[in-house]
């Protein structure tokens, strides 16, 4: 599986960088795939309501009613129809890209299975919505879809009278069928919307709206396409004839030609295996499962920052149970926690300055604890021998820290850069552990842990608690979000940062421990 994921991730990382240059990280469509999906859904919904008003469900009149909308009312009905079609197609393209991207980032392993598993029925519902829509038009494409789909459904042993017998001859079809079909074409997308809502239940602050610039650009593109190349029907269906050449919508119907090459039973088997295989991916080995965060009530003051910052809604506040004079305390739901450590960095007592032998805080992750982080920071600082010395804090999903190391650069890798309490930057610089601190992590807008980079930027810029203290010399800090393949350019930026540090007065490297120097600092 890694052999698919790695190249896929590289492909995404490289393409995203290209898009970053034109759109900027915030507007980058590849960083907004899920949100774009919602946006397309709303375009489809609004245009669909308009089309429904002009739609006639009589067998003889369906086709004519759509033709009227398309041609006589091209400026409104026609545009609505085109928007309906193209936004539906874009929805499929988005859903597939989004699936691949989440897969390549491993955003579905272990406790993160929920969004992935609920994504699987979403795919079925998206396709069913599209297929039922094309069926409604009752042109030659619809006839082709009617014949193949109904024969495929009849291959299941559930239906009594074969559905395909509705499409045998011109007089076998009645109006009731179209009434049923339009009911399905409305009901399926509504169920889809419901499952989309479920899809996001285990994420906090899911991004469901694209940034305005991207939304406007996308809508303008769709409108232009609808005017330049409007969606039209194929010749009307005629059950006395067999369809010959049909123009397929490959976004929805790419699998349909299979029906003519494999038996229906095989296609069912294939669809079943693909569905089950896709659904099982979160649990396939190798399943690395970091241990969940743990609350230490002695240090928890009930401030709720961990709840604010956890990207997976894995922490909640509950009434205090230990008699301390605070109203609330944090609890972690281990079934939702991915062990990213973002909560640890948010927790007020997560400070490296305190002089206790074993640092403790309100909420901590056993596999990358606060104490561990301080020890690794010291160990890295000791490897620095040539000034200006740069300490890099990075994350496990970005550039490999070992690849950057030399006598003046040392790295500390965290599960997520969002797991770095800002006070560590202060600590490193005020203690003279290095001359500069460089932060890096997955590429911008593409944080594997969703919100890690966003929170880091806000914290370091003093816009979100815990804030980096004002006394920290900002000229001794730099950051650059880099994807895994960007080690070379990252090294270049670190070298440039060193050159800038060289112009600043030197910092005294730490003297051997002098306990009297160390003040207890509390937020």
Partner 1 sequence: MTGVFRYAGQALAYLGFALLLGYFASAPAYTYRPADRAEVKLSFSHGGERKGGCRPLTPAEIAKLPPNMRRSQACPRERVPLVIEMDVGGQLAHREVLPPSGLSGDGPSRAYRRFQLPPGEHRLALRLRDSERRDGFDYESSFTVALRPRQNLVIDFRAEAGGFVIR
Kindly write out the interface string for residues 403-442 of this chain, putting x where it contacts ligand HEM by CB under 6 A and - elsewhere. ----------------------------------------
Residues 177-216 that bind ligand SF4 (CB under 6 A): none
211 binds partner 1 (CB under 8 A): no
Burial class of residue 499, CB neighbours in 10 A (0-12, 13-18, 19+): exposed
**Non-local CB neighbours of 58 within 8 Å, separated by 6+ positions:** 175, 178
8 A C-beta contact, residue 203 and residue 209: no
Burial class of residue 142, CB neighbours in 10 A (0-12, 13-18, 19+): buried
Nearer to ligand HEM, 120 or 384 (CB): 120
Alpha-carbon distance of 340 to 21, in angstroms, equals 29
| DSSP β-bridge partners for residue 439 | 393, 479
Q: Give the helix/strand (H/E) hosting 92.
A: helix 79-104
Smallest distance, ligand SF4 to C-beta of residue 201, A? 15
Residues 46-105 that bind ligand HEM (CB under 6 A): 91, 95, 98-99, 102
363 binds ligand SF4 (CB under 6 A): yes
Among 9, 13, 17, 23, binds partner 1 (CB under 8 A): 23
Residues 192-231 that bind ligand HEM (CB under 6 A): 196, 199-200, 203, 206-208
172 binds partner 1 (CB under 8 A): yes
Smallest distance, ligand HEM to C-beta of residue 39, A? 9
Give whole-number Cα distances, 104 to 12, 379, 435, in Å.
8, 33, 36
Smallest distance, partner 1 to C-beta of residue 74, A? 16
Helical packing angle, 79-104 and 2-27, nearest 10°: 130
428 binds ligand SF4 (CB under 6 A): no
Helix (H), strand (E), coil (C) string for 141-166: HHHHHHHHHHHHHHCCCCCCCCHHHH
Question: CA 16 from chain center: how many Å?
Answer: 14
**Non-local CB neighbours of 84 within 8 Å, separated by 6+ positions:** 43, 44, 47, 48, 51, 133, 231
Kindly write out the interface string for residues 287-316 of this chain, putting x where it contacts ligand SF4 by CB under 6 A and - elsewhere. ------x-x----xxxxxxx---x-x-xx-
Where along the sequence are the contacts to ligand HEM (CB under 6 A)?
34-35, 37-38, 91, 95, 98-99, 102, 107-108, 112, 115-116, 119-120, 122-123, 126, 196, 199-200, 203, 206-208, 450
The residues of the shown chain that bind partner 1, judged by CB under 8 A, are 19, 21-24, 27, 29, 85-86, 89-90, 93, 144, 151, 154, 160-162, 164-165, 168-169, 171-172, 217-218, 220-222, 224-225, 228-229, 231, 239-251, 256-257, 260
């Amino acid at each position: 599986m890694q052999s698919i994921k790695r190249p896929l991730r590289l492909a995404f990382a490289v393409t995203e960088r290209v898009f970053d240059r034109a759109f900027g990280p915030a507007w980058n469509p590849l960083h907004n795939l899920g949100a774009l999906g919602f946006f397309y859904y709303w375009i489809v919904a609004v245009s669909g309501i308009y089309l429904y008003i002009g739609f006639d469900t009589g067998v003889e009149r369906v086709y004519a009613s759509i033709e009227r909308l398309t041609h006589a009312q091209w400026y409104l009905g026609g545009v609505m129809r085109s928007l309906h079609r193209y936004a539906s197609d874009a929805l499929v393209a988005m859903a597939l890209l989004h699936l691949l991207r989440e897969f390549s980032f491993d955003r579905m392993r272990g406790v993160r299975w929920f969004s992935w598993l609920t994504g699987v029925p979403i795919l079925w519902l998206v396709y069913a919505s599209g297929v039922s829509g094309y069926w409604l038009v009752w042109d030659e494409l619809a006839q082709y879809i009617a014949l193949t789909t109904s024969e495929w459904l009849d291959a299941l042993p559930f239906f009594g009278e074969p559905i395909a017998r509705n499409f045998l001859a011109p007089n076998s079809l009645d109006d009731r069928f179209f009434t049923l079909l339009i009911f399905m074409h409305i009901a399926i997308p509504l169920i889809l919307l419901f499952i989309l809502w479920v899809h996001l239940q285990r994420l906090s602050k899911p991004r469901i709206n694209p940034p305005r610039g991207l939304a406007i650009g996308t809508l303008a593109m769709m409108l232009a396409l609808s005017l330049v190349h409007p969606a039209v029907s194929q010749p009307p269906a005629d059950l006395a004839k067999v369809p010959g050449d049909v123009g397929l919508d490959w976004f929805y119907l790419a699998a349909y030609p299979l029906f003519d090459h494999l038996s229906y039973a095989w296609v069912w088997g294939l669809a079943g295996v693909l569905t089950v295989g896709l659904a099982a991916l979160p649990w396939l080995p190798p399943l690395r499962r970091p241990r969940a965060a743990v609350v230490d009530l002695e240090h928890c003051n009930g401030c709720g920052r961990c709840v604010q910052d956890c990207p997976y809604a894995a922490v909640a506040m509950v009434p205090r149970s230990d008699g301390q004079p605070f109203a609330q305390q944090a609890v972690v739901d281990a079934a939702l926690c991915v062990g990213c450590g973002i909560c640890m960095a948010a927790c007020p007592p997560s400070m490296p300055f305190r002089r206790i032998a074993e640092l403790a805080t309100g909420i901590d992750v056993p596999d990358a604890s606060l104490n561990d982080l301080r020890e690794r920071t010291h160990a890295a600082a000791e490897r620095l021998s040539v000034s200006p010395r740069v300490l890099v804090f990075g994350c496990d999903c970005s550039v490999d820290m070992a690849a950057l190391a030399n006598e003046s650069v040392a790295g500390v890798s965290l599960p997520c850069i969002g797991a770095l309490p800002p006070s560590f930057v202060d600590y490193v610089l005020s203690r003279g552990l290095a001359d500069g601190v460089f932060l890096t992590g997955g590429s911008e807008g593409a944080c594997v842990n969703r919100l890690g980079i966003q929170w880091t930027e806000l914290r370091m810029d003093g816009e979100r608690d815990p804030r980096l203290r004002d006394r920290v010399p900002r000229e001794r800090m730099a950051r650059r979000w880099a994807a895994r393949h960007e080690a070379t350019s990252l090294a270049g930026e670190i070298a440039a940062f060193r050159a800038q540090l060289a112009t600043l007065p030197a910092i005294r490297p730490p003297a051997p421990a002098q306990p009297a120097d160390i003040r207890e600092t509390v937020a």
